[in-house]
Amino acid sequence: MARLFSCVAILLATSAGGAAEYDIVVYGGTASGAVAAIQAARMGKSVVLLEPGQHIGGLTSGGLGWTDSGDKRAIGGISREFYQRVKKYYDDPNVWLHEKRDNYKFYRPDDDAMWTFEPKVAEKILRNMLDEVKVKIHCGQRLDRAKGVKLDGRRIVAITMESGQSYSGQMFIDATYEGDLMAAAGVRYTVGRESNKQYGETLNGVARKWNTHLHRFVVNVDPYVKPGDPRSGLVFGIDPNPLPADGEADQRVQAYCFRMCMTDVPANRVPFEKPADYDEKKYELLFRNFEAGDLRIPLKIDRMPNGKTDTNNNCAVSTDFIGQNYAYPEASYAEREKIIAAHLSYQKGLMWSLQNHPRVPEKIRTQLAKWGLAKDEFTDTGHWPHQLYIREARRMVSDYVITERDCRRQRDTPQSVGMGSYNMDSHNCTRYVTPAGFVQNEGDVQVSPGGPYRISYKAIVPKAGECPNLLVPVCVSSSHIAYGSIRMEPVFMILGQSAATAACLAIDDKVDVQSVNYEKLRKRLLADKQVLELAAAPAPGAVDPKKLPGIVVDDADAERTGFDTVSTSVGPFVGSGYRHDSNTNRGQQSARFVPDLPAAGRYEVRLAYTAHPNRATRVSVQVTYAGGNKTLTINQQKKPPVEGLWISLGTFEFDKGTRGCVTITNDGADGFVVIDAVQWLPVK
């Protein structure tokens, strides 16, 4: 076990100038960096993996054992091999020390891979894979960001660490979460949220209108130090600066946290302690939220093997230290260490408060009393993860920027080197005071892309004319909202492998990374079992509109003002999902379904929607037909009577062509308004 948490000491072969020489230098021992190094070595190149800290695996070994994978069919290559090795490890009943294997519901004997795991197991597997191909690993090597990148024109010749050690290479891969090598090499990047207008998106920028998720205040909480008195100032954690309009750009960054590995196994449990710098004022919103009646457990506790967890942010006030990370992406190392320490102190204090503070309801204190940190995890960092969850920092701006349009497959993404499929997912970016005078969270967006999508090779290499021997598989060229989907650990591993493959081909063909022959790259990636193209699998409950009788107009084909949020949460539904109004902008959202009828005559008109208790009971639906208009009010909390999907609006005379329609609005609605599809069935 001692070897697991120490880096290998290696005698360096140095050039006359003192730099250790390699074909490929990988900076950043994240899972992406580890996979990049493995691939480079498998392709016969000399490679070194440089890690600023003391551990390999980043978040994969840093507590994120609950794999956010989306469509698992899109995970191939070494990334899938890693999860297959996880499964093989847990196939052994002897490794189940704190519970029986067959009692763990996420262990499935017939699966080829396993997607939940203990942090130390993830690091052990990655290190074993690196050792098998004899990758040199140098930990504690932090880039000298001020003067540590030696350039010949725009090409990196060597990089020097704060230790004074230099490394030269033909190709370099920046696999850090921060993009430090990329930035120091002069590659263009951005931080923060773009406006929707910049790339023709709908989900980017400031996002008050998407505030319909779980991670918000669902009760009214006063934001002022002295309740009701704005002159007393704001409670800790509320941003006094004004927010731009929805969809506009700002420099705010989605929140970070530690993914705690907890356990309720007494023999392996370390109690949460009150931090020495505990400041009760930092948790005032937590206490007030409970006192206002929100009694949700503010933690997402997902079970890992051996009685452990991956514990994530949840609800209004939780582990995300909202608004306290804006400076992190470009901060100095010393400033980053202070930010990380502040996050650690906050989260320690949060956990102590949830278990001990008298303003936390006794029921919640009792429910959480059984939990502590896992004694056999993170043994050299006080059982807290060695890696803060840097959900987003710098993002490269290259000749191709992955956007929401790529995620939704609304344009033909070129030169695929891997696929993503997870939700376009941003955590909250700030807290603000609403016009009504209460505190609210802002920035959380969770929208499915509707299936797997391609990630372009052009998004992992700098712009033409910029650094010609650098690849960036983590801080990829993408918009904020697209990065919310890309930023999953399996995808980072996929892109790490593709980056290393391209680096090897660039060396072999003596070309810049921007000029790598894509067909040759594609052939090698496919040979190595990467998944570059995949049709979207039908979502559970999806009904193919092409297989329905009559004329069907899906929500994707409706003429819309608003109704931008796409969901697949409740089935059944027609097509790839349905849309809703986010329970906002009452009276300002409408959808017009226009059929192209093959003949004049009588048609029964049916409306599809998914019922749920949060739906509106008063949804205005207008049918326009040959004889006039009819307006109906639909209760979308009631299950549709026909196949649980359709409700008849009546039978009407229609002209041939596109003169008829059905219009749905959210005017006067008292909940979420859903639009899905409208069907015209000819009546003889």
Q: Where are the beta strands (DSSP E) in 47-197?
A: 47-51, 136-139, 149-152, 155-160, 166-174, 189-190
Name every residue whose Cβ is closer than 8 Å to that of residue 248 and which is 6 or more positions away in sequence: 195, 196, 205, 206
Q: How far apart are CA 663 and CA 625, in angstroms?
A: 11
**What's the whole-number average pLDDT of the chain?**
94
pLDDT score for 21? 96
Asked whether the beta carbons of 596 and 638 are under 8 A apart, the reply is no
Q: How far apart are CA 159 and CA 149, in angstroms?
A: 5
Name every residue whose Cβ is closer than 8 Å to that of residue 178 and which is 6 or more positions away in sequence: 328, 329, 390, 393, 394, 475
Q: How far apart are CA 22 and CA 48, in angstroms?
A: 7
Q: How far apart are CA 322 and CA 42, in angstroms?
A: 42
Asked whether the beta carbons of 82 and 36 are under 8 A apart, the reply is no
Local structure of 489: helix, strand or coil = helix
β partners of residue 458: none
Alpha-carbon 633 to chain mean position:
38
- Please provide residue 230's backbone torsions phi and psi, each rounded to the nearest 5 degrees: -60, -25
Could you tell me the pLDDT band of residue 536, with boundaries at 50, 70 and 90?
A: low
Domain ranges across the chain: 542-682
| pLDDT average, residue stretch 444-470 | 95
Count CA within 13 A, CB hemisphere, residue 621: 27
**Read out DSSP for 265-331?**
-GGGEE-----TT--GGGGHHHHHHHHTT----SEEEEEETTTEEEEEE-SSSSS--TTS-TTGGG-
156 pLDDT more than 90: yes
β partners of residue 432: 440
684 pLDDT more than 90: no
- Kindly tell me the sign of the dihedral angle through the C-alpha atoms of 73, 77, 80, 85: positive
Q: Where are the beta strands (DSSP E) in 443-584?
A: 445-447, 453-456, 470-471, 542-543, 551-554, 559-561, 565-567, 573-574, 578-580
pLDDT score for 131? 98
| pLDDT average, residue stretch 673-682 | 97
Structure tokens at 21: 């020489």
| Residues making up the chain, counted from first to last | 684
Q: Which helix (H) or strand (E) holds 650?
A: strand 646-654
Of 67-81, 83-97, 122-136, give the lowest mean pLDDT range. Answer: 67-81
Top-level CATH class of 542-682?
mainly beta
Q: Which class for 593: exposed (0-12), middle (13-18), buried (19 or more C-beta within 10 A)?
A: buried
Structure tokens at 227: 């309740």
Q: How far apart are CA 562 and CA 189, in angstroms?
A: 31
Which amino acid makes up residue 187? Answer: V
pLDDT tens track for 292-330:
999 999 999 999 999 999 999 999 999 999 999 999 999
pLDDT score for 542? 83
Q: Which class for 112: exposed (0-12), middle (13-18), buried (19 or more C-beta within 10 A)?
A: exposed
Which amino acid makes up residue 488? Answer: M
Q: How far apart are CA 271 and CA 284, in angstroms?
A: 23
Asked whether the beta carbons of 261 and 309 are under 8 A apart, the reply is yes
337 pLDDT more than 70: yes
pLDDT tens track for 646-672:
999 999 999 999 999 999 999 999 999
| Percent above pLDDT 70 for the chain | 97
**Residue (of 591, 367, 462, 414) closest to 173 by Cα position:** 462
Structure tokens at 405: 């349009």
274 pLDDT more than 70: yes
Structure tokens at 420: 């993503």
Q: How far apart are CA 328 and CA 326, in angstroms?
A: 6
Residue tagged 């990758």 (tokens): 135
Integer-rounded Cα Rg, in Å, for the chain is: 27
Alpha-carbon 623 to chain mean position:
40
Q: How far apart are CA 406 and CA 450, in angstroms?
A: 11
| pLDDT average, residue stretch 507-526 | 98
**Residue bearing the bigger pLDDT, 449 or 535:** 449
pLDDT score for 613? 87
| pLDDT average, residue stretch 408-435 | 95
**Read out DSSP for 511-526?**
--GGG--HHHHHHHHH
Q: How far apart are the first and last CA of the chain?
A: 77
Local structure of 574: helix, strand or coil = strand
Q: How far is CA 491 from CA 51, 496, 632, in A?
A: 20, 8, 47
340 pLDDT more than 90: yes
Asked whether the beta carbons of 460 and 477 are under 8 A apart, the reply is yes
Residue ranges of alpha helices (H) inside 357-439 are 362-368, 404-407
Q: How far is CA 307 from CA 61, 117, 168, in A?
A: 17, 11, 45
| Percent above pLDDT 90 for the chain | 89
Pairing of strands 619-625, 628-634: antiparallel
pLDDT score for 538? 65
Could you tell me the pLDDT band of residue 583, with boundaries at 50, 70 and 90?
A: confident
**Residue bearing the bigger pLDDT, 123 or 213:** 123
pLDDT score for 539? 66
Q: Which class for 642: exposed (0-12), middle (13-18), buried (19 or more C-beta within 10 A)?
A: exposed
